[in-house]
Amino acid sequence: MLIRISSTKFVLEWITESLASLYGIEELIYSGRTKYQRVDILRTRDFGVVLLLDGLLQSSEEDEFIYHEILVHPAMVAHPKPRRVLIIGGGEGATAREVERYRDVEEIEMVDLDGELIEIVKKYLPWGREGFEDPRLRLVIAEGRGYLSKQPDGYYDVIIMDATDPSEESLAIQLYTREFYELAFRKLNDQGIIVTHAAPLLIKDAIVASVQKTIASVFPRTCIYASYVKSLEAMWSFVAGSKGVLPSDLRGHEVDRRIEERGVRGLRFYSGEVHDAILMLTKHYRRNFKPEGRIYSDEMFSKARDERDKTLNLPP
């Protein structure tokens, strides 16, 4: 929501029904709609250039690297030998950029529903171009769950979920259900890892608990970690599910060793020290906040999904 106070424009973004953030705009760089969502790219006073989808801030020039490094690297470092990586979502290109830092990765597939958004990102986001330039990247414009269902079982080493937030009205809610994680489980190999962002750890803790509980209903092992992201004004959480090793199994010295061995260069935030810190901090927060999660299923969201698909003319 754009509002004006005196001669200054602000974005008012509701985080919950009673909690909101407010930040000032210096310039409107782009505003329009794709087939699936409204897209705004703004220059702000506090966060630099920002990307908003349907009025919600997704990423900022100031600190996008924190979010994307924490999403990608714990799972990539934990896997013993990641060669084939699937990204679902990640339309701004930064998730692919982080995966591309691993010289031994052979195949990177990025599947995003909104091809129009990707073209907008390439044109207007200063950090949104680099990830699309690596020859290992295969970009597919498709719905992620449908695409994954057509791939060979046991094919991927790591699946990275960078879709929009898990909410009933979200385009991406079918990427957070037990049935989706069962599909992902089949498509991962014996040491496979899936990681997804979830929600603000302390503000929407019931959602975070539900995402973990849903993944845990399919994968034998899970863990949660979180890091503060200034532009998101929250401790943003990430949940990993694994058939083998988890990020939480590694200590900082092992993380640093693997980063060096795998030729990862250009990190601005993630390190062994940060790895230990985000796990320990999350553990202490969750000790005091223990919401009851629920297992998300397709059936829970079927009515909302059918109405959405009908509106967008998506196939069943």
Burial class (CB in 10 A: 0-12, 13-18, 19+), 49: buried
In the block, tokens 């329009």 appear at: 32
> pLDDT-derived band of residue 260, with 50, 70 and 90 as boundaries?
very high
d(CA 88, CA 281): 28
Is the confidence at residue 67, as pLDDT, over 70? yes
What is the CB neighbour count within 10 angstroms for residue 316? 6
| Pairing verdict, β 20-33 and 38-44 | antiparallel
pLDDT tens digit string along 77-122? 999 999 999 999 999 999 999 999 999 999 999 999 999 999 999 9
Q: What pLDDT does residue 7 have?
A: 47
Name the nearest CA neighbour of 201 among 211, 214, 189. Answer: 211
Q: What pLDDT does residue 290 have?
A: 74
In the block, tokens 């079982």 appear at: 153
Q: What pLDDT does residue 21 have?
A: 86
Backbone Cα Rg of the chain: 19
d(CA 115, CA 127): 17
Q: Is 111 helix (H, G, I), strand (E, B) or coil?
A: strand
- What is the maximum alpha-carbon separation in the chain? 59
d(CA 85, CA 266): 20
Is the confidence at residue 136, as pLDDT, over 80? yes
Which tokens go with 163? 């879709």
CB 110 within 8 A of CB 158: no
What is the CB neighbour count within 10 angstroms for residue 182? 12
- Higher confidence at residue 174 or residue 312? 174
For the chain, which domains are there?
2-60 (2.30.140.10), 64-288 (3.40.50.150)
Cα distances from 34 to residues 37, 52, 92, 114, 180, in angstroms, run 5, 13, 14, 7, 25
Virtual CA dihedral for 58, 61, 67, 72, nearest 10 degrees? Answer: 110
Residues with a known catalytic role = 162
Cα distances from 104 to residues 78, 258, 283, in angstroms, run 14, 12, 32
pLDDT tens digit string along 193-251? 999 999 999 888 899 999 999 999 999 999 999 999 999 989 999 999 999 999 999 99
Start-to-end CA distance of the chain, whole Å, equals 32
pLDDT tens digit string along 20-34? 888 889 999 999 999
Task: Tell me which H or E stretch contains 40.
Answer: strand 38-44
> pLDDT-derived band of residue 303, with 50, 70 and 90 as boundaries?
low
Is the confidence at residue 62, as pLDDT, over 50? yes
| Pairing verdict, β 8-14 and 107-112 | unpaired
d(CA 240, CA 235): 16
Name the nearest CA neighbour of 205 among 245, 235, 175, 173. Answer: 235
Is the confidence at residue 69, as pLDDT, over 60? yes
pLDDT tens digit string along 279-291? 999 999 888 877 7
pTM above 0.85, yes or no: yes
Query: 240 has which bridge partners?
Result: 195, 223
CB 86 within 8 A of CB 75: no
pLDDT tens digit string along 173-193? 899 999 999 999 999 999 999
Q: What pLDDT does residue 71 have?
A: 98
Percent of the chain with pLDDT over 90: 76
